[in-house]
Amino acid sequence: MNPTSDSKRDASGDARREQIKRAALKVFARRGLDGTKMSMIAAEAGVSDGLAYRYFKSKDDIFEMLVREAIDGANEAFETIGRLSVSPLERFRALTKEIIEDENNDYFVLVQQVMSADSLPKEVAQLIEGYSTLRMIDQMAPVFADGQRDGVFIDGDPRELVMWYLTVLSGLMLVDRSLLKDYRPPQTDFLLNLIVKPRQEQGV
Protein backbone atom coordinates (compact mmCIF):
# COMPACT_ATOMS: atom_id res chain seq x y z
CA MET A 1 0.00 0.00 0.00
CA ASN A 2 2.62 2.46 1.05
CA PRO A 3 5.94 1.34 -0.22
CA THR A 4 7.27 4.84 0.23
CA SER A 5 7.09 4.68 3.99
CA ASP A 6 9.05 1.48 3.99
CA SER A 7 11.65 2.61 1.59
CA LYS A 8 11.87 5.91 3.40
CA ARG A 9 12.59 4.14 6.60
CA ASP A 10 15.26 2.11 4.93
CA ALA A 11 16.53 5.14 3.14
CA SER A 12 16.84 7.09 6.35
CA GLY A 13 18.70 4.23 7.98
CA ASP A 14 20.98 3.86 5.01
CA ALA A 15 21.57 7.58 4.93
CA ARG A 16 22.68 7.59 8.55
CA ARG A 17 24.87 4.62 7.93
CA GLU A 18 26.43 6.36 4.95
CA GLN A 19 26.87 9.55 6.92
CA ILE A 20 28.74 7.76 9.66
CA LYS A 21 30.75 5.73 7.20
CA ARG A 22 31.83 8.81 5.32
CA ALA A 23 32.82 10.54 8.52
CA ALA A 24 34.77 7.49 9.61
CA LEU A 25 36.54 7.23 6.26
CA LYS A 26 37.59 10.83 6.49
CA VAL A 27 38.99 10.51 9.98
CA PHE A 28 40.56 7.10 9.46
CA ALA A 29 42.25 8.28 6.27
CA ARG A 30 43.71 11.20 8.12
CA ARG A 31 44.61 9.65 11.45
CA GLY A 32 44.83 5.92 11.08
CA LEU A 33 43.09 3.25 13.09
CA ASP A 34 44.81 3.88 16.41
CA GLY A 35 44.70 7.64 16.06
CA THR A 36 40.98 7.66 15.45
CA LYS A 37 38.68 7.75 18.47
CA MET A 38 35.04 6.87 18.11
CA SER A 39 34.23 10.27 19.52
CA MET A 40 36.05 11.84 16.56
CA ILE A 41 33.95 9.89 14.11
CA ALA A 42 30.77 10.79 15.95
CA ALA A 43 31.76 14.45 16.06
CA GLU A 44 32.69 14.46 12.38
CA ALA A 45 29.33 12.88 11.56
CA GLY A 46 27.56 15.25 13.90
CA VAL A 47 25.93 12.51 15.95
CA SER A 48 26.22 11.19 19.46
CA ASP A 49 28.91 8.76 20.51
CA GLY A 50 26.52 5.89 20.94
CA LEU A 51 24.74 6.13 17.63
CA ALA A 52 27.49 4.61 15.56
CA TYR A 53 26.88 1.37 17.43
CA ARG A 54 23.38 1.14 16.04
CA TYR A 55 24.90 0.82 12.60
CA PHE A 56 28.24 -0.84 13.23
CA LYS A 57 29.26 -3.45 15.72
CA SER A 58 32.54 -1.87 16.69
CA LYS A 59 35.22 0.54 15.65
CA ASP A 60 37.14 -2.28 14.03
CA ASP A 61 33.97 -3.25 12.23
CA ILE A 62 33.66 0.18 10.62
CA PHE A 63 37.29 0.07 9.68
CA GLU A 64 36.96 -3.37 8.17
CA MET A 65 33.94 -2.38 6.11
CA LEU A 66 35.74 0.65 4.77
CA VAL A 67 38.80 -1.36 3.86
CA ARG A 68 36.61 -3.92 2.17
CA GLU A 69 34.92 -1.22 0.11
CA ALA A 70 38.25 0.39 -0.65
CA ILE A 71 39.68 -2.85 -1.93
CA ASP A 72 36.58 -3.56 -3.97
CA GLY A 73 36.77 -0.07 -5.41
CA ALA A 74 40.44 -0.39 -6.21
CA ASN A 75 39.98 -3.72 -7.91
CA GLU A 76 37.10 -2.34 -9.87
CA ALA A 77 39.11 0.65 -10.94
CA PHE A 78 41.89 -1.61 -12.13
CA GLU A 79 39.49 -3.76 -14.06
CA THR A 80 37.86 -0.76 -15.63
CA ILE A 81 41.23 0.46 -16.72
CA GLY A 82 42.09 -2.99 -17.98
CA ARG A 83 39.02 -2.96 -20.21
CA LEU A 84 39.77 0.38 -21.81
CA SER A 85 40.66 -0.13 -25.46
CA VAL A 86 43.43 2.42 -25.50
CA SER A 87 47.20 2.37 -25.67
CA PRO A 88 49.26 1.13 -22.72
CA LEU A 89 50.40 4.68 -22.06
CA GLU A 90 46.83 5.86 -21.84
CA ARG A 91 46.02 3.11 -19.44
CA PHE A 92 48.82 4.09 -17.12
CA ARG A 93 47.79 7.69 -17.49
CA ALA A 94 44.23 6.78 -16.50
CA LEU A 95 45.46 4.77 -13.55
CA THR A 96 47.64 7.59 -12.34
CA LYS A 97 44.90 10.18 -12.72
CA GLU A 98 42.45 8.00 -10.85
CA ILE A 99 44.78 7.64 -7.93
CA ILE A 100 46.37 11.06 -7.77
CA GLU A 101 43.78 13.47 -9.00
CA ASP A 102 40.60 11.93 -7.74
CA GLU A 103 39.23 14.15 -5.07
CA ASN A 104 37.65 11.23 -3.23
CA ASN A 105 40.75 9.19 -2.87
CA ASP A 106 40.39 8.67 0.85
CA TYR A 107 39.68 5.07 -0.04
CA PHE A 108 43.07 4.72 -1.68
CA VAL A 109 44.70 6.39 1.25
CA LEU A 110 43.01 3.93 3.54
CA VAL A 111 44.27 0.94 1.61
CA GLN A 112 47.77 2.30 1.70
CA GLN A 113 47.58 2.95 5.40
CA VAL A 114 46.44 -0.57 5.97
CA MET A 115 49.14 -2.02 3.81
CA SER A 116 51.86 -0.14 5.60
CA ALA A 117 50.47 -0.79 9.06
CA ASP A 118 52.31 -3.08 11.39
CA SER A 119 49.41 -4.56 13.29
CA LEU A 120 45.80 -4.90 12.28
CA PRO A 121 42.60 -6.54 13.45
CA LYS A 122 42.43 -10.14 12.27
CA GLU A 123 39.58 -9.50 9.87
CA VAL A 124 41.35 -6.68 8.13
CA ALA A 125 44.58 -8.59 7.90
CA GLN A 126 42.77 -11.38 6.05
CA LEU A 127 41.18 -8.94 3.65
CA ILE A 128 44.55 -7.53 2.79
CA GLU A 129 45.96 -10.98 2.34
CA GLY A 130 43.49 -11.61 -0.43
CA TYR A 131 43.98 -8.22 -1.98
CA SER A 132 47.53 -7.06 -2.37
CA THR A 133 49.41 -4.97 -4.76
CA LEU A 134 50.29 -8.29 -6.32
CA ARG A 135 47.04 -8.44 -8.19
CA MET A 136 47.52 -4.92 -9.45
CA ILE A 137 50.97 -5.84 -10.60
CA ASP A 138 49.73 -8.95 -12.33
CA GLN A 139 47.19 -6.87 -14.13
CA MET A 140 49.40 -4.02 -15.17
CA ALA A 141 52.61 -5.87 -15.97
CA PRO A 142 51.35 -7.27 -19.31
CA VAL A 143 50.10 -3.83 -20.28
CA PHE A 144 53.50 -2.47 -19.45
CA ALA A 145 55.22 -5.14 -21.53
CA ASP A 146 53.00 -4.20 -24.46
CA GLY A 147 54.12 -0.63 -24.02
CA GLN A 148 57.72 -1.72 -23.98
CA ARG A 149 57.22 -3.57 -27.24
CA ASP A 150 55.80 -0.37 -28.70
CA GLY A 151 58.93 1.43 -27.55
CA VAL A 152 56.85 3.66 -25.27
CA PHE A 153 58.03 2.44 -21.85
CA ILE A 154 61.54 2.13 -20.55
CA ASP A 155 63.43 -1.14 -20.63
CA GLY A 156 63.70 -3.49 -17.71
CA ASP A 157 61.77 -6.20 -15.90
CA PRO A 158 58.09 -5.23 -16.37
CA ARG A 159 56.96 -6.60 -13.02
CA GLU A 160 59.66 -4.75 -11.13
CA LEU A 161 59.11 -1.48 -12.94
CA VAL A 162 55.37 -1.68 -12.41
CA MET A 163 55.92 -2.45 -8.78
CA TRP A 164 58.15 0.55 -8.43
CA TYR A 165 55.68 2.79 -10.17
CA LEU A 166 52.84 1.60 -7.99
CA THR A 167 55.02 2.05 -4.96
CA VAL A 168 55.57 5.65 -5.89
CA LEU A 169 51.85 6.19 -6.35
CA SER A 170 51.17 4.44 -3.06
CA GLY A 171 53.61 6.67 -1.28
CA LEU A 172 52.00 9.77 -2.65
CA MET A 173 48.72 8.79 -1.10
CA LEU A 174 50.32 8.71 2.30
CA VAL A 175 51.77 12.19 2.09
CA ASP A 176 49.66 14.85 3.70
CA ARG A 177 48.28 16.91 0.89
CA SER A 178 48.14 20.07 2.94
CA LEU A 179 51.82 20.22 3.66
CA LEU A 180 52.44 23.55 2.09
CA LYS A 181 50.52 26.52 0.95
CA ASP A 182 50.36 26.61 -2.81
CA TYR A 183 50.89 22.87 -2.73
CA ARG A 184 49.78 21.04 -5.81
CA PRO A 185 50.24 17.33 -6.00
CA PRO A 186 52.58 16.05 -8.67
CA GLN A 187 50.86 16.08 -12.03
CA THR A 188 50.09 12.95 -13.90
CA ASP A 189 52.47 13.64 -16.76
CA PHE A 190 55.25 14.39 -14.34
CA LEU A 191 54.87 10.99 -12.77
CA LEU A 192 54.64 9.22 -16.10
CA ASN A 193 58.17 10.41 -16.77
CA LEU A 194 59.20 7.60 -14.47
CA ILE A 195 58.28 4.96 -16.98
CA VAL A 196 57.98 6.68 -20.34
CA LYS A 197 60.90 6.19 -22.66
CA PRO A 198 62.42 9.40 -23.93
CA ARG A 199 61.98 9.86 -27.66
CA GLN A 200 63.89 12.03 -30.09
CA GLU A 201 60.84 14.22 -30.52
CA GLN A 202 60.81 14.84 -26.80
CA GLY A 203 64.54 15.26 -26.60
CA VAL A 204 64.72 17.97 -29.23
Residues of this chain that bind a copy of itself (CB under 8 A): 30-35, 112, 115-119, 132-134, 154, 160-161, 163-164, 167-168, 170-176, 179-180, 183-187, 190-191, 193-195, 197-200, 202-204
Binding DNA (rule: CB under 7 A), the pick from 22, 26, 43, 47 is 47
Distances (CA, A) of 112 to 67, 99, 152: 10, 11, 28
Among residue numbers 96 through 115, which ones bind DNA (CB under 7 A)?
none
- Select the binding partner of residue 82 from DNA, a copy of itself, none (C-beta < 5 to 8 A, by kind): none
What is the spatial distance between Cα 94 and Cα 189, in angstroms, rounded to a whole number? 11
Distance CA 38, CA 71 (A): 23
Does residue 49 interact with DNA by CB under 7 A? yes
Q: Which does 53 bind (CB under 5 to 8 A by kind): DNA, a copy of itself, none?
A: DNA
Per CB under 7 A, 116 contacts DNA: no
Contact 67, 106 (CB under 8 A): no
Q: Measure the CA–CA gap between 162 and 159, rounded to whole angstroms.
A: 5
Amino acid type, 147: G
